[in-house]
Amino acid sequence: MARRFFIFSIGLLIGSMLVYQLMIKGTDREFYGSWLPEGRVLKKIRNGLDKQHLQLDCWTKCTNVFNSDIDYLLENGDVDFSKSTTQGSEKAYLVEVELESEEVLQVIFGMVDEEINIQEITVGSKFPYSAKDCLCD
């Protein structure tokens, strides 16, 4: 009986390694929940955002937000669906995160079809400074 269990265990181990090598290793799979609405929205924004846009560059300089902060927001941010516009052809999603400097970064991303842009950047919770205040036109 022990010999059969030992042979079964070896077969299970070899089979598991084969499945891992052939199907899972080297793929760009995300196991943290990109099937949830928040994960899907952040993934869509991350893939479609044009970080070379001139207005984004001006807004980030004006509000002292770095591109690494935008990346951190897209990786660890929370989508506030209650303050977002999710119906219709023009959608807007509010994504917020607390940075390491303990300031709250809020960004409103506009989404029309597959085109994604930043509509507003707000930094700080006590004295919010909005990118709307910048002269970037």
CA nearest neighbour of 94 among 105, 107, 113, 111? 107
Are 132 and 112 in contact by the 8 Å Cβ rule? The answer is: no
* Residues whose CB falls within 8 Å of the CB of residue 131, separated by 6 or more in sequence, listed in order: 59, 62, 63, 118, 120, 121, 122
CA distances from 29 to 26, 32, 49, 84 (A): 9, 9, 21, 28
Helices (H) and strands (E) in the chain, counts: 4, 5
What residues form DSSP beta bridges with 49? 116
- Whole-structure pTM value: 0.68
Alpha helices (runs of H) in the chain, residue ranges in sequence order:
2-19, 37-48, 54-62, 67-76
Higher-confidence residue of 116 and 130: namely: 116
Are 99 and 105 in contact by the 8 Å Cβ rule? The answer is: yes
Tell me what pLDDT residue 131 has: 61
Q: Is 117's pLDDT higher than 60?
A: yes
pLDDT band at 73 (very low <50, low <70, confident <90, very high): confident
What are the structural domain ranges in the chain?
Answer: 31-133
Tell me what pLDDT residue 32 has: 54
> What is the 3-state composition of the chain as percent helix, strand, coil, each rounded to the nearest 5?
40, 30, 30
